[in-house]
Amino acid sequence: RPGPERMERLGGLHRFMGWDKPILTDSGGFQVMSLAGISKVKEEAVTFSSHIDGSKHVLTPERSIEIQADRIGADISMQLDQCVAYPAEKDAARRAMELSIRWGARSKARFGEREKQALFGIQQGSTFEDLRRQSSEQLQEIGFDGYAIGGLAVGEGHAAMCEVLDYAPEFLPQDRPRYLMGVGKPVDLVEAVYRGVDMFDCVLPTRAGRHGQAWTWDGPLNLKNARFAEDQDPLDPTIDGPSSQYSKAYLHHLIRADEILGKVLLSWHNIAFYQALTAAMRAAISEGRFEAFRRDFHARHTSNG
């Protein structure tokens, strides 16, 4: 909602939401996996029923690019891919990876060459190194503006994700953006950057905020917890934003009373924290001290909120 055709009539997503900076959109592949009970994947297209009104939809690689690049007006569009949940049998992971390659070629053909918009290919292969390598090689033969690492953050856990990231980014070109899809917690970002990832997307900062969780340099805090009822300190004095002027006690009250302001303030704070985290990582990299930053982060960041 409100739908691609209406979005186009309203002048595209930038104008619709009043955002003049870059926008990245997903192709629908992950969403198809999440709707596995009401979708069917075939060579030509994915067919699925809307979880909103039950209406039938057909999504081809070409239609996905039309929606993202032409009607929505995304700056970065993603190829349509097939994502498999974890754990996956190797044959199933191979079939999904090979279908994603064919869909990637069709996505690129529909997208063409554009000066002001980019198209990313998506590496698949679950937790199988040889499949990840094959996917990367074939994607580079097609040629994309950037490359995503897909099929992670689908239930495999932090340790297994890091094992894949020990090799998956190295299969992709170093002169193009390498983007890890759907990740993640602050510790996930630090470990992924350490392994060569450049870009991320995740709903976690705002989803956590809506459920009373705030991310800080010392780890996550659950503002529902009674221990904050009379805590007059701010969430994190180093994070600038609207939430910095309020005490944990006030935020605790808002969350326990289910006031929407509490959800807004924590979401705003979490986004500001993630921005501070990524800025700190960029600075550490440019100054040649990322190893020390990573070590200090782990020493301070806990899960005792």
For residue range 58-73, list pLDDT tens digits in order: 999 999 999 999 999 9
Average pLDDT of the residues in 214-235: 96
| Boundary residue ending a domain (168, 202, 236) | 202
How many Å apart are CA 121 and CA 124, to the nearest integer? 10
Identify which has the larger pLDDT, 304 or 213. 213
Query: Binning pLDDT at 50, 70 and 90, where does residue 6 land?
Result: very high
pLDDT of residue 52: 84
Is 60 found in the same domain as 8? yes
Query: Binning pLDDT at 50, 70 and 90, where does residue 110 land?
Result: very high
Is 213 found in the same domain as 138? no
In a domain, 305, yes or no: no
Containing H/E element for 77? Answer: strand 76-78
What angle in degrees, to the nearest 10, is found between the helix axes of 157-165 and 186-194?
20
In a domain, 25, yes or no: yes
In a domain, 34, yes or no: yes
In a domain, 175, yes or no: yes
Is 256 found in the same domain as 169? no
Helix, strand counts (H, E) of the chain: 12, 10
CATH assignment at residue 158: 3.20.20.105
Closest CA to 127 of 159, 99, 103: 159
pTM metric for this prediction: 0.94
3-state secondary structure 129-178: HHHHHHHHHHHHHHCCCEEEECCCCCCCHHHHHHHHHCCHHHHCCCCCCE
- Report the first-to-last Cα separation within the chain, whole angstroms: 36
| Boundary residue ending a domain (202, 223, 243) | 202
In a domain, 195, yes or no: yes
Domain span holding position 119? 4-202
Query: Binning pLDDT at 50, 70 and 90, where does residue 304 land?
Result: low
pLDDT in tens, 269-294: 999 999 999 999 999 999 999 999 99
**80, 48 contact by CB (below 8 A):** no
Is 257 found in the same domain as 112? no
Is 243 found in the same domain as 129? no
Is 263 found in the same domain as 139? no
Asked if pLDDT for residue 305 goes beyond 60, the answer is no
How many Å apart are CA 297 and CA 219, to the nearest integer? 10
| Residues marked as catalytic | 26, 201
**23, 74 contact by CB (below 8 A):** yes
Is 270 found in the same domain as 155? no
**How many domains, in total, are found in the chain?**
2
Is 273 found in the same domain as 144? no
How many Å apart are CA 167 and CA 163, to the nearest integer? 8
Query: Binning pLDDT at 50, 70 and 90, where does residue 296 land?
Result: very high
**223, 242 contact by CB (below 8 A):** no
Is 117 found in the same domain as 251? no
Is 248 found in the same domain as 142? no
Is 77 found in the same domain as 180? yes
Is 148 found in the same domain as 27? yes
| Boundary residue ending a domain (159, 174, 202) | 202
Closest CA to 127 of 82, 172, 102, 97: 97
